[in-house]
Amino acid sequence: MAQKPAIPKGTRDFLPSEVARRTYIFDTIKSVFKTYGFAPIETPSFELSTTLMGKYGEEGDRLIFRILNSGDKMKKADVEALNEGNLPRFANSLAEKALRYDLTVPFARFVVQHQNELSFPFKRYQIQPVWRADRPQHGRYQEFYQCDADVVGSDSLLYEVDFVQIFDQVLTRLQIPGFTMKINNRKILSGIAEVSGEADKLIDITVAIDKLDKIGEDGVVEELRQKGVSETAIATISPLFTITGSNEERLAQMKTFLSASEIGLKGIEELEFVLEQTKALGLERAEVEFDVTLARGLNYYTGAIFEVKVHDVKMGSICGGGRYDDLTGLFGLSGLSGVGISFGADRIYDVLNELDLYPSDADASLTLLFANFGQSEAAYCMRLSKLLRQKGVDCEVYPSDAKMQKQFKYADNRKVKFVALIGENELKEGKLQVKNMETGEQIAYTEAELLAFFTA
RNA sequence: GAGGUUGUAGCUCAGCUGGUUAGAGCGCCGGAUUGUGGUUCCGGAGGUCGCGGGUUCGAACCCCGUCUUCCUCCCCA
């Protein structure tokens, strides 16, 4: 071994026990999605650059992994653009393909492309990896799995209500003890910008107030100034920083604040509906909080905005989502409203590891190991294994007649539930020894009894 | 993309102002126990000190570059 092999930064390997835990997470999410009527689709891991570029804001483009053209296509490089200093155009000429950055934009592309094969409202879920050329940090990877559920072709707020239930169901089933679902509405943010007289600075304003809990009131004011927001506008916005009380009380205060803004009041109305319906349905573990400062960077959201954070753990949001009225419009099909959510599987995996929340059978391994006592005994065990496997029992025969100590140690490491000891004597007497590795108890069975025991 | 930080055995980490042959615990392998694991006891193997260059009589330690880790921004799952 000349040099130790390595994997790229921000990626990870998963051992069998780790994959078992991740499978448990994926299966939990899938089963809930399914009960709400979502069906799975898949899209390619990479898309045409033009499909992705420009869909995630200025910062987003920087974080998209580009795939270098190969072979003769390299000759298509736009050297002129390079000389002119137009790096984006030069990059586009070098890389016609890019790894997907999220699952929502490819889904919008998918819907437009297959519009005549789908019936609307179209509900799909999608669990696949995405890639971001971000600087890795705790809970931040360059390759990670998103678990998305979206519905397009309906502007019904009942779907927002469903998604709130889905967040609650999934995270409750995963045994996460406490988590808060923050909810806001982009129309309320538009209303704020409108009321302050800076409607054209909507993005700057929302990005700034989104940082309230991080940089504080003074920090937000400072950032607003830097972005060129007027002092009168800042003075108008400032009272929002100190809004408190229950969701109902906050909504009431916002209603007053936005009384002059039609779009703002529309946002309040939508949010009220979702919160009322949610209250009527009830929640298991989720706490719902209306947070005016919740903005979510994605600039395609137009209505509800969601974010979920786990209590008492140092981790960014584990889920996000929202409504986007015209995402498919970017690909030439307008008039379709969509709403969706995303579970960050890798962050959930990290949280569950940190809080040690896996059920004991999440990493269950082999059910039965046949100890190997030699050629003829092993041959008998192989026949018995085949019978058991046909009944769906997972089992295997130890590959060589090594010392019992070694065979048992192997069984122990593999977390095997039972070890069968079938040597010369057992075969002669027709008494097959089966040891329970947890209790240490050992029982002799006839072949028929053994088959019955494991297939019962 | 900006600034900082980390890297020593499979894992977690010691290693003094630069000074012989780089250590420990756990794990691994073997034995005590030739048909019984998870406990105990005894023994053993295992390291180009992330990589490349430089300074020095001498570098795990100092300098430069690079990769990686974690952190703060940016942004986000």
Per-residue pLDDT tens over the stretch A219-272: 888 888 888 888 999 999 888 888 889 999 999 999 999 999 999 999 999 999
Asked if the Cβ of residue A5 lies within 7 A of any atom of strand B, the reply is: no
Distance of CA A183 to the CA centre of its chain: 18
C1’ B49 / CA A423, Å: 50
CB of residue A207 closer than 7 A to nucleic acid strand B? Answer: yes
Instruction: Identify the pLDDT of residue A84.
Output: 78
Query: pLDDT per residue over A272-329, tens digit each?
Result: 999 999 999 999 999 999 999 998 766 789 999 999 999 998 899 999 999 999 889 9
- pLDDT value at residue A333: 94
A320 CB contact with strand B at below 7 Å? yes
pLDDT score for A119: 96
Q: Which residue has the higher pLDDT, A364 or A8?
A: A8
Chain-wide mean pLDDT for chain A?
92
Q: What pLDDT digit, counting tens, does each position of A100-158 carry?
A: 999 999 999 999 999 999 999 999 999 999 999 999 999 999 999 999 999 999 999 99
Residues 214-253/A with CB < 7 A to strand B: 214-215
Task: Return chain A residues 147..206 having CB < 7 Å to nucleic acid strand B.
Answer: none
Q: Tell me which of A134 and A17 has the higher pLDDT.
A: A134
For residue A121, cis peptide bond before it (omega within 30 degrees of 0): yes
Q: Determine if strand B comes within 7 Å of the CB of A75.
A: no
- A214 CA from B4 C1′ (Å): 20
Q: A420 CA, B40 C1': separation in Å?
A: 27
- Separation between the CA of A440 and the C1’ of B39 (whole angstroms): 14
A390 touches strand B (CB under 7 A): no
CB A437 within 7 Å, strand B: yes
Question: pLDDT value at position A3?
Answer: 58
- Which residues of A in 257-296 have their CB below 7 Å from strand B's atoms? 296
ipTM for the predicted complex comes to: 0.89
Q: Report pLDDT for A41.
A: 98
Residue-level pLDDT at A300: 83
At residue A23, the pLDDT reads 93
Highest mean pLDDT among A207-216, A263-272, A308-317, A362-371: A263-272
Please state, for a pLDDT cut of 70, what percent of chain A lies above it.
99
Say how far apart CA A294 and CA A287 lie, in whole Å. 15
Look at residue A297 in the predicted model and tell me its pLDDT.
66
CA of A418 to C1' of B38 (A): 14
Query: Which bases of strand B sit closer than 7 A to a protein CB?
Result: 1-3, 28-31, 33-38, 48, 50-51, 67-77
Confidence at residue A343, expressed as pLDDT on a 0 to 100 scale: 97
Q: Is the CB of A211 under 7 A from strand B?
A: yes
What's the pLDDT at A260? 93
Question: Please, what are the domains in chain A?
Answer: 16-44+101-355 (3.30.930.10), 366-455 (3.40.50.800)
Determine the distance between A26 (CA) and B57 (C1') in angstroms. 62
* Average pLDDT of the segment spanning A174-179: 95
* Mean pLDDT of all residues in A91-99: 89
Distance A15 CA to B28 C1' (A): 18
Residues 9-28 of A with CB under 7 A from strand B: 9-10
Q: Report residue A218's pLDDT band, with 50, 70 and 90 as the boundaries.
A: confident
Three-class SS of chain A: CCCCCCCCCCCCCCCHHHHHHHHHHHHHHHHHHHHCCCEECCCCCEEEHHHHCCCCHHHHHHCCCEECCCHHHHHHCCHHHHHHCCHHHHHHHHCCEEECCCCHHHHHHHHHHCHHHCCCCEEEEEEEEEECCCCCECCECCEEEEEEEEEECCCCCHHHHHHHHHHHHHHHHCCCCCEEEEEEEHHHHHHHHHHCCCHHHHHHHHHHHHCHHHHHHHHHHHHHHHCCCCHHHHHHHHHHHHCCCCHHHHHHHHHHHCCCCHHHHHHHHHHHHHHHHHHHHCCCCEEEEECCCCCCCCCCCCCEEEEEEECCCCCCCCEEEEEECCCHHHHCCCCCCEEEEEEEHHHHHHHHHHHCCCCHHHHCCCCEEECCCCHHHHHHHHHHHHHHHHCCCCEEECCCCCCHHHHHHHHHHCCCCEEEECCHHHHHHCCEEEEECCCCCEEEECHHHHHHHHHC
User: What is the rounded average pLDDT of the residues A184-189?
Assistant: 94
pLDDT at A2 over 70: no
Instruction: Indicate if CB(A54) is under 7 A from strand B.
Output: no
Of the given ranges (A117-121, A358-362, A395-399, A440-444), which has the lowest mean pLDDT? A358-362
pLDDT value of position A290: 95
A119 touches strand B (CB under 7 A): no
A35-72 tens-digit pLDDT: 999 999 999 999 999 999 989 887 888 899 999 888 77
What is the CA A301 to C1' B20 distance in angstroms? 68
Note the CA–C1' distance, A131 to B65, in angstroms.
Answer: 29
Q: Is the CB of A344 under 7 A from strand B?
A: yes
pLDDT of the residue at A268: 96
Residue A216 pLDDT > 90, yes or no?
Answer: no
pLDDT at A202: 86
The residue with greater pLDDT, A364 or A385, is A385
Determine if strand B comes within 7 Å of the CB of A104: no
Cβ of A136 near strand B (under 7 Å)? The reply is yes
Q: CA of A4 and C1' of B47: distance in angstroms?
A: 13
Angstrom distance, A4 CA to B18 C1' = 28
Nucleotide nearest to A314 (CA to C1'): B71
Separation between the CA of A456 and the C1’ of B40 (whole angstroms): 39
Q: What percentage of chain A carries pLDDT values higher than 90?
A: 69
What pLDDT score does A243 carry? 86
